[in-house]
Amino acid sequence: MKTPDSNVHAKLLQLKRILIRHPHFNTILAEMENCLEESDDYSEPQCMLVTGDTGVGKSRLLETFYSLHPRVINGDHTETPVLLASLPLPATISGFFTAILSFLKAPYPDRGNIEYKHTRLIQLLSRSNTRLIILDEFQHLVERGTVRRIEVVADAIKSLINQTRLPFILVGMPSAAAVLECSPQLAGRFPLRMAISAFNWIEKPADFKRLLSCYEQGLPMDKASGLCDEDMPARFYLATGGNFRSLATLIQKAVRMALMQGCPRIEQTHLVLCFDRYLAQNRKLRANPFSESAEAIEQWVTQLKEARA
């Protein structure tokens, strides 16, 4: 494949900056904003739990929210309005504190015992003017945690909420919700729980078609690629299972291939090749949805609908 010229390179950069926001994405983003802005108006911080399987858009959601509230450097002082850390595996109180200290750029974040880290953390959160803490990969607490460990770390989070009066947003796989079931007191601090799921073209075709339309409008192509034409939504759904990450990968790779070949739009041949190269091994479908006939796709969809009936 040839090296891209400056025009193609600029379009590839534009492709990286495409931000797709679907309605449910915007709803969750708005609730996260409410946690940040409204916590001062209540006696307790407004906390929430966001769950979803791999590839449904959790990382994109967090990146988007964090980009709206980035770090601000004022001379030798750095303000961190939104702190985004990941719970380590295995999850421990010490590892939890170290993860947050690391994000705050604390020197030697793993130094000292739990009490020392806790004291540093409280001081740094105040000094950094932190207003909200996002804790990602929260399912790690369940994956290798005993009931006792879950209770201990959950108590540490609850205590940190009490001491800092900061709202927390916990994010993870669906299994992360089990943590709150093990700690009724912590569960009471998280009344708002929202889930991100894969797009279901079978049950909600309009939502999936709207997503494809958003991509079509943002693509750096000279001509429309027809992502929503005729049976293309069905083909994209069969190829990706409605998984946001898989869909993004497929479209981005197809765009790159088209641009490198000097094509003004994505052709179906690009989608055939990109599915085989980037998705087929994980999807393990009976055929490539982009190389099947219209009749075969219709029959495939009918069988899916009958299986779910």
Domain co-membership, 76 together with 127:
yes
- Over residues 184-214, the pLDDT tens digits come to 888 889 999 999 989 989 998 998 998 899 8
- Least confident span in 94-98, 143-147, 244-248, 300-304: 143-147
Number of Cα atoms under 13 Å in the Cβ half of residue 13 = 7
Degrees, nearest 5: CA angle 104-106-108:
140
Domain co-membership, 224 together with 172:
no
pTM assigned to the model? 0.85
What's the whole-number average pLDDT of the chain?
A: 90
- Mean pLDDT of all residues in 23-34: 90
How many Cβ atoms are within 10 Å of 235's Cβ, its own excluded? 23
The CATH number given to whatever domain includes residue 93 is 3.40.50.300
- Over residues 113-143, the pLDDT tens digits come to 999 999 999 999 999 999 999 999 988 887 7
Domain co-membership, 182 together with 217:
no
pLDDT the model gives residue 2: 54
Where a domain ends, among 161, 196, 231? 196
Where a domain ends, among 172, 196, 220? 196
Domain co-membership, 205 together with 230:
yes
Per the structure, the count of domains in the chain is: 2
Q: Are 71 and 120 in contact (CB under 8 A)?
A: no
Q: Which of these, 61, 79, 59, lies nearest to 71 by C-alpha position?
A: 79
Rounded to 10 deg, the angle between the 23-38 and 58-68 helix axes is 50
Domain co-membership, 256 together with 212:
yes
Confidence of residue 151 (pLDDT cuts 50, 70, 90): confident
Residue 7 in domain: no
pLDDT the model gives residue 75: 79
Domain co-membership, 141 together with 207:
no
Domain housing 141 = 23-196
